[in-house]
Amino acid sequence: MISEVNRLYRKTDISIKVEEVSSDPVTRLAMSIRELKSEVVANYQGHEDVTDLVFLFRKILYKITTGLLDYNEILRSEDKDELRASLSLAHKSYPSLFDAHLKKVGNSLKSVLETEGNPLIERVIDSINDQRFEMRDMSVAVVTKKSLIEEERYRVASHLRLTTSVSFFTENGFRVDTEDYDKVIYIGSPNHCGMYATNTFKSESVTFITYDFYDNSFVKRETLNRFGEDRSISTVYEDVEIEQPSMRKKTLLMPPTMEPSELLNRFIMKAQKENQDEDPELIEAMVVYLENNHFIFIPRDVKMKTLTSEGEVNDTKVESIDEGSYIIVRNKSESKLIGEVADEFFLKDRRDEFRDLQLKWKERLIESIKEYGVDRFSYLLRTKHSITYANPIIIKTWIKEETIAPRAIEKLLPALKYDEAEIEETLIATKEIRSAHLKAGRLISKSIMDAISPEMIEIVKERGFHTFESEEFTDVTFNIERVIYIDNEVREVATSQLMKLYKLI
């Protein structure tokens, strides 16, 4: 390990270059968005729908200036539909703003999306194929903030010399990679790519490729401050030649400039606004930030399936998950999947009998809540039946489909006016269902482990995520996601938002 770290800081001549690309349509789009943003800041503070539209344009500009497809292929149909709907609403609600600024942005974007080709991908390919690098078996790392889709990788790889090997990384994946390369190419400005990119060099040739209207100056970000002549200093930039871009005045910082916490708060506020007419059940959860601007709400004390770099699957409490580790997320309700597997593989012929008994006590519980009211009934359970934890929120969770039974089921059934025979029959069903769910959980874990291969782990290391499926279960996919960091702040979120992957931007 020490030798690997030492290689990254070895004394050797290093060449750093910032290469700029230009596109008149994209420059016009960027300038029109800047003008729109200035107008909104000056005259439309507090108008969330307008602010959201500016944010949407910024997202689109970010996709265009980091994408490695032709301009007319970068935006998905969902992006275009969202944009049309937002512009149509703004045209009706803010006609003056629309005529003065939004129309200009829309026309600029239309011009970009009708343009074939993309100078960014052309420059990336030319930089890799630079004839000054005559070595055979040349290795190149292409590093991006977000992982490239398969088509983008193919566009690059299909235009390279036969002796060139290219590895694609996200910024976080590249940080933990221990290899060094003949050339490293970052998509974005040095400021955008961050401190690691500007002070840890895994190649003698480092190139940043970005659009010319951004602030692309290379600022030396030293890992040790200069203390003085007689004390230790940083040697990161000794023997490093930096070729800066032109120093003409730049007008934009590369987006997005919002911090993840700010983006998360936007998401939560928007969700609350959309659900303001509902009374959702709130659960304490932690926010886990993942690669590629994903995040997930995980309830406190819940165990997640985690994956080691060696391919071992473990159950780890969310509070104990390490940054840089991998979690496995089912792209389907976890409890629903376990229930389906339990029914099919373990309960089998007695599935309907046991599930009917489970449904019966829940229906009686609903009737009691309607008769007494949830507050009154919870009071009766606590005082008359010694179920001390039976508060209204807990009682509502018992009704949910994924709940097998409360731990005080033996005390609850008499409160629901069950006779002894019904109690015994229901307790047997509950025991069998619980046992089947535990077995189902173990079977799913085994199936995941059997499906994971060394090749899959390498993909995850590069991209930060991977979607795979198990041969044992039909129509079920899993995601492996790299953890960037865990927010220690506990938030109350609706149960419907738990254990689902969301995008920050």
- pLDDT tens digit string along 142-164? 999 888 888 999 999 888 876 77
Neighbours of 493 (CB within 10 A): 20
Q: Give the single-character DSSP code of 147.
A: P
The b-or-e profile of 422-433 (16+ CB within 10 A means b, else e) is: bbebbbebbebb
Which pLDDT belongs to residue 221?
63
Which pLDDT belongs to residue 247?
59
In degrees and rounded to multiples of 5, residue 41 shows phi and psi of -60, -40
In degrees and rounded to multiples of 5, residue 465 shows phi and psi of -160, 165
Neighbours of 175 (CB within 10 A): 15
Mean local confidence (pLDDT), 13-33? 91
The token pair at 158 is 């299909």
Inter-CA distances, 480 with 84, 331, 452, 460, 470, Å = 33, 10, 10, 7, 13
For the chain, the average pLDDT equals 83
Among 75-79, 367-371, 422-426, 496-500, the minimum mean pLDDT is found in 496-500
Which pLDDT belongs to residue 234?
55
In degrees and rounded to multiples of 5, residue 209 shows phi and psi of -115, 125
Which pLDDT belongs to residue 230?
52
Query: Distance between CA atoms of 393 and 332, rounded to whole angstroms?
Result: 25
Mean local confidence (pLDDT), 476-497? 84
Q: The pTM is what? A: 0.72
